[in-house]
Structure 1
Amino acid sequence: MELRLPVCVLLLLCATKVSNGGRILVWYTEASHWINMKPVLETLVDRGHQVTVLVPSASLFMNSSEPSRFLYEPFDVSVSVKDIENIFEEVLHFSLYEMDDMNPFQIFIRFLDLMKNNIKVSFKYLDGVVKSETLMKKLKEGNYDLLYADPIYPGSDLIADILGIPLVFSLRFSIAHNVERMCGQLPAPPSFVPGAMSKLTDKMNFSERLGNVLFYALQDLMLEQFMWKEVDKYYSGVRGTPTSACKMMGNADIWLLRTYWDFDFPRPLLPNFKFVGGIHCRPAKPLPNEMEKFVQSSRDDGIVVFSLGSMVKNLTTEKANMIASGLAQIPQKVLWRYSGEKPQTLGSNTRIYDWIPQNDLLGG
């Protein structure tokens, strides 16, 4: 009897620790979205949760064979890595080079083509999950407590509904805040909330406010006709009943906005929308010796860390020289992530690197 009580107490404490951990299913994503998500998943593991990530067979950044503290659930898709690379290249080429020489109507038509192509590929990814009886059976038997997703790819809300589990979104923004407004019911008065990607600010004159109203209306109409209708049709086919994908997205319990309130324009918020900017940041590690020496040489002027994102590594000679020339005119030391040929106009204050440790540079 004397031994039994301590043993029971020990078992109870162990059970309590285990019961605190949840089983979290993570929706697939890509590029910087995945880079941003990984530290969050590591933190969840640190806090005792079991994390399982869905990984498509074709991905530029997700790799189910790499060592990790969370689990991977791979699934097959009918597209290749080369197909994905071509899609990203097409979008980047349009954004960096084509738009400047197009009128608004041409931009609109080209953007529609890119959107239609992206939706088709997104459905091929989703097919790999919902049309795989083996995988769906495994997910249903997984007894997951939560689905965590970046909604750049459709389907996470559909799977959360099928599994009957809560859904948490993590996103920066959607064009014209369409998803947040139409699905999440987030207010966005066009009189003072500029549509995302409209290039407007919250300080608008009458004509700019009118332009903002038209921007919201045009984007809503375009997305409804060429995206939401297609997603609705897909979801309805899977569920066997007419389904609004936007309403299903609206069932998300929490929307995590990857920014700080003071980096955004003033806007109304709902209780389930939370600013979580910087959740991927970590304590800075020491820099490589050569990089540390260059950074310290900046003295009181400071440094500029310049990157065009995870996907843009090369530019045309003309654009690279134009950027290098501009950077050469500032007093700061510049660390530029760039893999192309060294620009002729590169200043003595600028160094180019294939990769730069942004977290360590900015957190030092």
Structure 2
Amino acid sequence: MPLHRVCRIFMLFSLCVVFFTPQCNGGNILVFPVDGSHWINMEVLLEELHARGHNITVIRPSTSWYIPEKSPLYSSITIKIHGDTTTFFNLFIQEQMKARRETASLLTFIKITKGFFSMITEGHSLWCDSMAQIFDDPKMVKSLKDSQYDLLLADPGIGIGVVLAKYLKLPLVFNARWLTSGEGHFVMAPSPLSYIPVLGSGLTDKMNFHQRVKNVLFYSLIWFQEKFLMGPIYDSMCKKYMEGGCDIVSLFQDADIWLFRTDFVFDFPRPTMPNVVYIGGFQCKPAQPLPADLEDFVQSAGEHGVIIMTLGSMITALPKEVAEEIASVFAKMPQKVIWRHKGERPSTLGNSTLMMDWMPQKDLLGHPQVKLFVTHGGTNGLQEAIYNGVPVLGIPLIFDQHDNLIRMQERGAAKMLELADINGHTFEEGIKEVLYKDSYRKNMQRLSSLHRDQPVAPIDKAIFWTEYVMRHKGARHLRTEAYKMPWYSYYCIDVMLFLMTALAVLLLSVFAVFRLICCPSKRTTKSKLS
């Protein structure tokens, strides 16, 4: 081929690359994540943002369990935490599981609630005290301001990132489901307690009178938590570092975009707002091939298939007596079992059970041999089960897990066992019910079909709206100003009082005029008769 034709083809190809390749102007993103399973979600977003050319800086605690200091995805700012977070959190988990082994009663509920309030108060106090390393360091503050970040991406489970965004005057995007005081919708969208269940209530969106009373009482606990536990911690920090102070709830409400880690395949329908983008299951991907030895084990199960069991990233082992009962049941089942368990090896463990410190959960759930998922009910695991159509047997332990499993059970895709009720008989019956009652698999596969039937993948929505905020320096036009109104104006109490007063004045005026007109005629009639 002549050289001039080769040159023309090369130039044409170059022009095509320039004009038809999507353009990406890399932004500068500051990230404040939450550790544990929350970080797993955040890291998925960071991988996508990094792939699109964005420069990322992550603020992490020195005691982090999962957030590495060095990463090809980001540079990091490490904050020294003044306290042993690992020890006090592990003690909290142990106490919670011990309480959940007791028979359900008011005393058990008080123990669980008291332990939870104590843990979150200590955790948030530690973070607020430690953030003085940033706010009291002029060089650090100058460095953050000089970096000219385009936005702050935060998980609002801890409120520090929200305060920092306000301090640096940055647009704010949330990777959220939970706030410092419960489910995020309750601070930024209408949430009628008549059909919106509160975290911890264990209710669905169909409530009778007694359940609605229970829902209101649980909401009062959330209100107490925010007003008297979380609020003062952040108010103190805001008063010290922010001119005029600030209110943490108002800062939440001022966020530009909420990337919400749920959807209405998983959650109950409810009112929402224009700046909420639902990205439930955004971390889910098609299954990758298993390691050769694990694939051999899975295939050896034959027609009976495989059961997988894991309790998530924070809980490595169940109480010993529970683990023994579960292992004995697995030993009797014809299925092979893969169990993520780091505790003491149960003496009743059978040859058909493979125990692992870590398992490729996403890839196993996507394997056609997997028939059942035994889980604690974390959001990530349940959404991955939905994505792959695998029915669930749930054992809720802490936080939102009970409420998550209620949602799956209500849709007929899961069965839930309370930790206090687990023994060899109940666990075996639960396993067999979900395995052999076909409705569980059919209902889960229906949810999978609904979840996958979307015009835009959840991860693509998350990236688009994050970059949208960068392009437009925020998204104020999508935020409601309702939260700036006093409560009596929001609920139109002042309007109702005005209208009632006006109506009363009108009625009294009419009555007065009527009496003025009628009474003289009566007196005249009486005088004539006399």
AA paired with 2:293?
A: E
SS in 2 for 1:74: strand
SS in 2 for 1:351: strand
SS in 2 for 1:110: helix
SS in 2 for 1:263: coil
AA paired with 2:359?
A: I
Aligned with residue 316 of structure 1, among 312, 316, 319: 319
AA paired with 1:144?
A: Y
Q: Residue 128 of structure 2 contacts residue 233 of structure 2 at CA under 8 Å; is this kept in 1?
A: no
**More displaced 10-residue stretch of structure 1: 290-299 or 221-230:** 290-299
Aligned with residue 309 of structure 2, among 306, 309, 313: 306
* Alignment partners' CA distance in 2, 1:327 and 1:265: 34
* Alignment partners' CA distance in 2, 1:268 and 1:229: 29
Q: How does 1:92-241 map to 2 (within 5 A)?
A: 92-101=93-102, 102-174=107-179, 177-182=182-187, 185-241=188-244
Gaps of 5+ in 2: 1-10, 368-530
* Per-residue deviation, residues 140-195 of structure 1 (Å, max 9, x unmatched): 0111111111112221112112222211111233587454312xx22222222211
* Alignment partners' CA distance in 2, 1:192 and 1:75: 43
Q: How does 1:1-364 map to 2 (within 5 A)?
A: 20-65=25-70, 68-79=71-82, 83-101=84-102, 102-174=107-179, 177-182=182-187, 185-299=188-302, 301-327=304-330, 332-364=335-367
* Alignment partners' CA distance in 2, 1:289 and 1:58: 35
AA paired with 1:233?
A: S
Q: Residue 176 of structure 1 contacts residue 215 of structure 1 at CA under 8 Å; is this kept in 2?
A: no
Q: Aligned in 2, Cα 1:234/1:271: closer, same or farther, shift over 3 Å? A: same
* Alignment partners' CA distance in 1, 2:345 and 2:154: 38
Q: Residue 31 of structure 2 contacts residue 59 of structure 2 at CA under 8 Å; is this kept in 1?
A: yes
AA paired with 1:324?
A: A
Q: Aligned in 2, Cα 1:55/1:115: closer, same or farther, shift over 3 Å? A: closer
What's the offset of the Cα at 1:280?
2.2
* Alignment partners' CA distance in 1, 2:269 and 2:365: 26
What's the offset of the Cα at 1:332?
4.7
Computing the radius of gyration over CA atoms, which structure comes out larger, 1 or 2?
A: 2
* Alignment partners' CA distance in 1, 2:182 and 2:307: 30
SS in 2 for 1:199: coil
1:3 corresponds in structure 2 to none
AA paired with 1:232?
A: D
AA paired with 1:230?
A: I
Q: Aligned in 2, Cα 1:111/1:177: closer, same or farther, shift over 3 Å? A: closer
Q: Aligned in 2, Cα 1:340/1:288: closer, same or farther, shift over 3 Å? A: same
SS in 2 for 1:20: coil
* Alignment partners' CA distance in 2, 1:173 and 1:303: 33
Q: Residue 99 of structure 2 contacts residue 108 of structure 2 at CA under 8 Å; is this kept in 1?
A: no
**More displaced 10-residue stretch of structure 1: 122-131 or 220-229:** 122-131
AA paired with 1:201?
A: T
* Alignment partners' CA distance in 2, 1:89 and 1:175: 20
What's the offset of the Cα at 1:357?
0.7
* Per-residue deviation, residues 248-284 of structure 1 (Å, max 9, x unmatched): 1111111112123211112222121222122223443
* Alignment partners' CA distance in 1, 2:157 and 2:267: 20
AA paired with 1:88?
A: F
Gaps of 5+ in 1: 1-5
Please state which structure has a larger fraction of its residues in helix: 2
Q: Aligned in 2, Cα 1:237/1:207: closer, same or farther, shift over 3 Å? A: same
SS in 2 for 1:29: coil
Q: TM-score if structure 1 supplies the norm length?
A: 0.86
* Per-residue deviation, residues 56-115 of structure 1 (Å, max 9, x unmatched): 3222222213xx3222232342425xx121122022112211344443333333333223
AA paired with 1:84?
A: T
AA paired with 1:62?
A: I
* Alignment partners' CA distance in 2, 1:287 and 1:192: 43
What's the offset of the Cα at 1:36?
2.0
Q: Aligned in 2, Cα 1:194/1:64: closer, same or farther, shift over 3 Å? A: same
Q: Residue 258 of structure 1 contacts residue 277 of structure 1 at CA under 8 Å; is this kept in 2?
A: yes
SS in 1 for 2:265: helix
What's the offset of the Cα at 1:116?
2.3
AA paired with 1:222?
A: Q
Q: CA RMSD in A?
A: 2.7
Q: Aligned in 2, Cα 1:236/1:355: closer, same or farther, shift over 3 Å? A: same
SS in 1 for 2:57: strand
* Per-residue deviation, residues 192-220 of structure 1 (Å, max 9, x unmatched): 22112321222322211210111112221
SS in 1 for 2:153: strand
**More displaced 10-residue stretch of structure 1: 342-351 or 148-157:** 342-351
SS in 1 for 2:178: coil
* Alignment partners' CA distance in 1, 2:258 and 2:334: 40
Size of the aligned set, in residue pairs, is 348
**More displaced 10-residue stretch of structure 1: 137-146 or 234-243:** 234-243
Q: Residue 157 of structure 2 contacts residue 180 of structure 2 at CA under 8 Å; is this kept in 1?
A: no
AA paired with 2:209?
A: F
* Alignment partners' CA distance in 2, 1:267 and 1:300: 42
* Alignment partners' CA distance in 2, 1:326 and 1:175: 39
What's the offset of the Cα at 1:347?
4.6
* Alignment partners' CA distance in 2, 1:344 and 1:218: 42
